[in-house]
Homo-oligomer: A and B are copies of this chain.
Amino acid sequence: MANPTAAMLVIGDEILSGRTRDANMHYLASELTQRGIDLKEVRVVPDEAPTIIGAVRALSSTYDHVFTSGGIGPTHDDITADCIAEAFDDHIDIRADAHDLLAAYYAREGREFNAARQRMARIPDRATLIDNPVSIAPGFTLENVHVLAGVPSVFKAMVASVLPQLTGGAPLISQTLRINRGEGDLAGPLAEVAAKFSDLSIGSYPFIHEGVYGANIVLRGTEPARLSDAMTTLKQLFPEDK
């Protein structure tokens, strides 16, 4: 049976302007791969409601799961929650459960639970909260969309909250052979290996390291025995790289 599929939607002008280097995509990709959920697409979009709504609808209808990051804080440019509600025609307002979590937290901390912070309790009616052990303000799941914070430490904590609830597939495992030759020398034999092991995904990732051309050949699949067979074949073809 095919693994469940997923997409990620990264929301934020700061990524597109080059101000911030996104860290969440790489983290989510690794976590999903380990869990046997295939990340099939990532989109990065600006803080613009029509674009966010359009992307959420497109990805939600194409993949089993969608994970968003960014835009759920208390400031004026945090519009993700409202966009998700609109994408699914749900009503959104400050919700009692999220409000109470945050009110208790700020009371403990001795900080004011002001209007801006109350915005973080805006949750669509039909959504389920996602636990945020770092800074309390929750994420949420609405239909197949999981809405997470953009701050990397909070994003990671929310991924840890939501992933155990999802059904994964067979975890994708991989083996890598580093070959210190140009891809052009590998390509012919490699294509034959790829044809022979067509049930595996075999990728070639070239590098240039201190002026030397090489490639990492990555075998991916779900059956360890097949990976080992393919690796044995590869090592026979490129014996000096054992």
**A residues at B contact (CB < 8 Å):** 10, 12-22, 25-33, 38-47, 51, 73-77, 111-112, 114-117, 119-120, 134-135, 151, 153-154, 172, 174, 182-188, 190-191, 194, 201-208, 213, 215, 218, 220
Contact = CB atoms under 8 A, between A and B. Distances in A.
A107 to B, nearest CB: 14
A74 B39 contact: no
A30 B44 CA distance: 15
Nearest to A151: B206
A206 B112 CA distance: 18
A134 B208 contact: yes
B44 A42 contact: yes
Contacts of A76: 187, 190-191, 194, 202, 204
Most B CB contacts (10 A, CB to CB) among A12, A45, A120, A188 go to: A188
A43 B43 contact: yes
Contacts of A117: 184, 187
A45 B39 contact: no
Contacts of A73: 183, 187, 204, 206
Say whether chain A's binding surface is mostly helix, strand, loop, or mixed: mixed
B33 A75 contact: no
B218 A14 contact: yes
B13 A203 contact: yes
Contact of A174 (B17, B77, B191, B204): B17
Nearest to A153: B208
B203 A14 contact: yes
A16 B44 contact: no
Contacts of A13: 201, 203, 220
Given A18-B27, A42-B44, A154-B208, 9 more contacts: A16-B38, A18-B30, A41-B45, A43-B43, A47-B203, A76-B190, A77-B203, A116-B191, A120-B184
Contacts of A38: 16
A8 to B, nearest CB: 8
A15 to B, nearest CB: 7
Nearest to A8: B44
